Chain A
Amino acid sequence: MSENRVMGTLRLIWDEVWGLFVDDGVFAGAIVVWVVIGWRVLPFMGLRDWLPAVVFFAGLAVILSLGALRAASQRGT
């Protein structure tokens, strides 16, 4: 394989790997922000034992639903 083909293949593989995690910046950004909140804020809020876990899950479920609704409306729904 020529050098250009090799570089092109590596570039494409890198793009695909990045695309595994991020194909919509807003959606991925919301997940990352919520993970940071779950890590740095929720455990220190003095909530009851089980509440941080439930709040963390609920936030992710809301991000998932809103992300899907937003993507659907962007595609013309």
Chain B
Amino acid sequence: MPADFIHAGPSVLAAFLASLVEFVEALTVVLAVGATRGWRSALGGSASAMLVLLVLVAVIGPLLTSIPLGAVQLTLGALALLFGMRWLRKAILRSAGVIPLHDEDALYARQREALGAGGLRRSGWDAMAVSAAFKITMIEGIEVVFIVIAVGASGRGLLVPAALGALAAFCVVVLLGAALRRPVSMIPENILKFAVGVLLCSYGTFWVGEGASIPWPGGDLSLLWLCLGFLLAALGTVSLVTRRRALAPAGSAR
């Protein structure tokens, strides 16, 4: 059914791509912790964070269904816009060369150095390792939970497709991590962030409009022109920033 595909397809895709980026970042740090200070603490810290996240989801999920749909759409739409526009702006700045691209290999090396590589591997529980793995899993996991809720909690049965998208990303990253035993640095992270930023901005705009009773031309198909509109606006801004950088007098860039 086209209407179902139009809703569920972008939800699954947005949740999958955004979660992929977050899980790759978490994997880099967990791999660094495991390789440096022992796998028991690294995996223990990650597992505890995932348990806390599951409890959070179990508490937040039913709460959302008890709030009027208009209020949920307005609030989640506004949060999706804050989150998505921040992501998209950062992706624009990275594409234009204003800020450096995210480098998983460099992050891995920094983390290993910070955790004290060489001779610090411990066999028992290691508080620093547990804390580091817990922190990164919790931080990236909260982002995944928010993304799934933002694209899925519309009252149209999209939460499950969005959660499945995130679960698929988790499986892909865990399999890649287990196979490679090093950071997954071959994923074009900024292109993914650019795409996810466009999707989140489109969803956020659409939900706020729905919550505020703004009529959308084309109804649900508006998501398509919103995606195209944000993509064009973002690409236009990349070109504008790049041109301004090229015209800036040499030495003015910090």
Could you tell me the distance between the alpha carbons of A1 and B77 in the complex, rounded to whole angstroms? 38
Contact A22 B214 (CB under 8 A): no
Contacts of B222 in A (CB 8 A): 53
Q: Known contacts A28-B82, A38-B208, A77-B244; decide if A64 and B233 are in contact (CB<8 Å).
A: yes
User: Which 6 A-B pairs give the minimum distances between C-beta atoms?
Assistant: A76-B254, A50-B217, A61-B233, A21-B82, A39-B212, A76-B253
Interchain Cβ contacts under 8 Å between A and B, 24 examples: A9-B131, A13-B142, A20-B86, A20-B143, A21-B79, A21-B86, A31-B81, A35-B74, A35-B78, A39-B212, A40-B212, A52-B209, A52-B214, A52-B215, A53-B222, A60-B81, A60-B205, A65-B240, A68-B92, A71-B93, A72-B245, A73-B244, A77-B241, A77-B248
Could you tell me the distance between the alpha carbons of A53 and B201 in the complex, rounded to whole angstroms? 14
The number of chain B residues touching the other chain, given as a range, is 35 or more
Q: Known contacts A28-B82, A68-B92; decide if A16 and B139 are in contact (CB<8 Å).
A: yes
Contacts of A77 in B (CB 8 A): 98, 241, 244-245, 248, 252-253
Residues of B within 8 A of A (CB): 74, 77-79, 81-83, 85-86, 88-89, 92-93, 96, 98-99, 127, 130-131, 134-135, 138-139, 142-143, 146, 201, 205, 208-209, 211-217, 222, 226, 229-230, 233-234, 236-237, 240-241, 244-245, 248, 252-254
> Which residue of chain B is the closest to A58 with respect to CB atoms?
B229
Contacts of B96 in A (CB 8 A): 68, 72
The number of chain A residues touching the other chain, given as a range, is 35 or more
Q: Which of B127, B142, B233 has the most CB of A within 10 A?
A: B233
Contact B229 A61 (CB under 8 A): yes
Question: Which of A20, A52, A64, A76 is the one whose CB lies under 8 Å from B252?
Answer: A76
